[in-house]
Amino acid sequence: MLGPVEVRRDGHPVAVPGGKTAELLVRLALDAGTTVSADRLVDDLWAGASTRRNTLQAKVARLRRAVPEAIEGTYRLGVEPDQVDALCVLRDAAAGAKRLDGGDEHGARELSTAALERFRGELLPAAGDWAAPHRSQLEEARAKLIETQLTARMRLGEHVIADAEAAAQRRPKQPIAPWDYRYYAEKVRKARYDLDENEVKPYLQLERLREAMFWVAGELFGFDFVPVAGLPVVHPDVRVWEVVERDSRRHVGLWYFDPYARQGKRSGAWMNAYRNQERFACDIPTIVSNNANFVEGEPGVPILVSWTDAETMFHEFGHALHGLASDVRYPSLSGTSVVRDYVEFPSQLLEHWLSTPEVLEQFALHHETGEPIPPPLVAKIEQAAKFNQGFKTAEYLASALVDMKLHLAGDRDIDPRRFERATLAEIGMPREIVMRHRTPQFGHIFSGDGYSAAYYSYLWADTLSADAWEAFSEAPGGAYDRDVAQRLYDHVFSRGNTVDPELAYRAFRGRDPGTAALMRQRGFPITEEA
């Protein structure tokens, strides 16, 4: 039986609205060791009583990453909006616990888990068996990063450092310095992995690659792309295709292709969704585009691209397919409108189909002879892809961990130089490597909330895509196995943000993702635990 809960502000008692539910949430905040959280909760509870539904939905969307299961549970049980609004305290309680523990992340996570378990056990008893199988996700992003980092961290950079030292012909007692690394790494690359892009480009024609992407979409998801004329476009270079289901001929959406550079166009390559798919009031199909900046050639002369640019084309087309395959009710949950550490998973996964023999034999044809790209050259490309991965992963992880720790530091004063040095020492950063983005110019941290504490998401998406690709490589039908492709469509590409990503991935793969596939893909030694 719970005793009374009293919250004081400036020495005066403050009433707690909302009955037993609010009382228990305030208790959780106080148990986590921070009066500030309890005060914040009282404000949230009072404000929540008059919250309009659209405001509530916006708040719930912001909270999904912090406590997705608890929020989903309140909807399932019909809990009142002010109680959902009060879930803000769980994030405050977790942050307070971290400060209280003086940086003890393990202890903080245990406190946060215990708080959420009490919330489930005492506030959501009707959830029953639904809540039991799911672990706490209060620090989901942190747990993901730590899992990948602990598995890989200390065995990533060491062998590339040894290679560079050997290239420098120095003894181990005279290790290279960070400013030496790239110079000697380039010597290793030339000696072991040298790949001339000019050998590859003749086989990679822009229009052939577009046809290859269409073919892959047809094999995986049964989509056909039909050219459309007469639709308005922003420039004559832009072409349009209608996307239809192969069997039913049902209209799926429109795909715009804007491949060439021109004055006033932004640089790079990207995907746009001009209209999201929805079924709210009526069926509304999506309109998406893929955009690039290739230099347009003379009429009749094929445009040749690098292997990296070909991978980028498949990557951005993966985003487009994520939008085209969407089959949800609400436009705000449609297509690529998913959490930051999940949105790159479908696109990075689609890159794998570029190197499949079925694609290369049909579409990677020499622009003069028509011969397919030779297997020894493909093997050379695959071998070169593993070069320097230890360095790249270590420098990336260093920045990701500094980003996360900065955001976990709360409101205490920070000396950036000391903080960076202490963090790198704590994670065991090899002295021969520096972090990819030094703190003063780390734009992901300060440029907006999109990547705040989320720089890790690139590697997590890579972890998911590597693990998902092995679902195909292990299947009887290989890269084009119909059963695996159907599960990918049903549980990943078509679901948008209507299902928690962890649950969606588990439904597709039959288990949670592991790091072993990523380690194999990058050429690292793995253990049974990975």
> Which residues are identified as catalytic?
316
Q: List the 223-228 sheet strands across, edge first.
A: 223-228, 239-245, 251-260, 286-294, 270-275
**What distance lies between CA 8 and its chain's CA centroid?**
42
DSSP 3-state assignment of 450?
helix
Query: Residue 351 corresponds to which amino acid?
Result: E
Within 10 Å of residue 478's Cβ, how many Cβ atoms? 13
Total residue length of the chain: 530
- Residue 113, phi-psi category: left (phi > 0), alpha (psi -120 to 50), beta (remainder): alpha
d(CA 327, CA 490): 9
Rg (CA), the chain: 26
Give the DSSP H/E element, type plus range, for residue 12.
strand 12-14
Residue whose pair of structure tokens reads 């620090």 in the numeric block: 139
CB atoms near residue 86 (< 10 Å): 27
User: What b-and-e string marks burial along 234-260, b requiring 16 or more CB atoms within 10 Å of the CB?
Assistant: eeeebbbbbbbeeeeeeebbbbbbbbb
Structure tokens at 73: 């549970």
Q: Kind and range of the H or E element at 257?
A: strand 251-260
DSSP state of 266: P
Q: Are 238 and 260 in contact (CB under 8 A)?
A: no
Closest to 51 in 3D by CA, of 95, 94, 5, 17? 17
